[in-house]
Structure 1
Amino acid sequence: MSDWGPVFVAVVLFILLTPGLLIQVPGRNKCIEFGNFQTSGASILVHSILYFSLICIFLLAIGVHMYLLHLSTMADWGPVVIGVVLFVLLQPGLLFQLPGHNRQLEFGSLKTNGKAIAVHTLIFFTLYAILILAVHVHIYTG
């Protein structure tokens, strides 16, 4: 039986914490900026720490699961580690942006837009679901 809880939590956090969509900390000109569709290495680092903290709370402390049976009482760090790594690597504008502002694919622009966030969210969802639900990547700790 597949647990969709980590996938749901990871995708929602990816969307909400993408720098520049709702909030950017630190912003380009202020400590906090809202809806500026900009990003930077510093804001990706801050948002990644927030992502890590929140995904740990939801998956490990609260234990959000979406299936009928709870199969294990051990902490599974797999969804956390995979979520954080994908969160960083798939931030629009950091490594790449699809679609870009001037071309279909841009590299290292540190800018984003609504379409790029949607496309990167779909890529995040697909990769996360494959790794968690199909490949069954788990890192258990006692």
Structure 2
Amino acid sequence: MSDWGPVFVAVVLFILLTPGLLIQVPGKSRAIEFGNFQTSGVSILVHSIIYFALICILLLAIGIHMSIKRPSAINVDWAPVLVGVVLFVLLSPGLLFSFPGNGKQLEFGSMKTNGKAIAIHTLLFFAIYAVLIMAVHLHIYTG
């Protein structure tokens, strides 16, 4: 049985915490900036830490699931958390690449983003995350 809870939580957090879309901490000129479509290595690090904390709370502590039957496993599965955090960092628009870029179709390391890039990076995040968690059934269990 498929559990879409981790996929839904990870994608929503990716959208809400993408630096520059709603908020950027720290901002370029202030500690917090709203909707500036800018990013930096430090803000991606800060947002990644916030992402990690929230996804741990929502998936591990609260245990959000979207399936008919709750899994009976006692072990904690860290795969949804770790895959989400790694993809959050790698697919943050502007860090490694931005597709589409602001001036070109594809920009590398520009530390800038835009609405189209956030939408496309979100689709990439969803596709890769869903394949790894739902299709490949990637699991990392702890005691």
For residues 126 and 18 of structure 2, what CA distance do their matches in structure 1 show? Answer: 14
For residues 58 and 74 of structure 1, what CA distance do their matches in structure 2 show? Answer: 16
For residues 61 and 84 of structure 2, what CA distance do their matches in structure 1 show? Answer: 16
Q: Who is 2:140 aligned against? A: 139
Moved over 4 A (4+): none
Please list the CA deviations of residues 67-114 of structure 1 after superposition, one character each: whole Å capped at 9, or x if unmatched: 011122321100000000000000000000000011110100000000
2:131 match: secondary structure: helix
1:10 match: secondary structure: helix
Q: Who is 1:126 aligned against? A: 127
Amino acid at match of 1:5: G
Amino acid at match of 2:48: S
Instruction: List gaps (5 residues or longer) in structure 2.
Output: none
TM-score (structure 2 length as normaliser): 0.98
What RMSD, in angstroms, separates the aligned Cα atoms of the two structures? Answer: 0.5
Counterparts of residues 1-142 of structure 1 (less than 5 Å): 1-71=1-71, 72-142=73-143
For residues 74 and 94 of structure 2, what CA distance do their matches in structure 1 show? Answer: 38
TM-score (structure 1 length as normaliser): 0.99
For residues 22 and 74 of structure 2, what CA distance do their matches in structure 1 show? Answer: 35
For residues 95 and 87 of structure 1, what CA distance do their matches in structure 2 show? Answer: 11
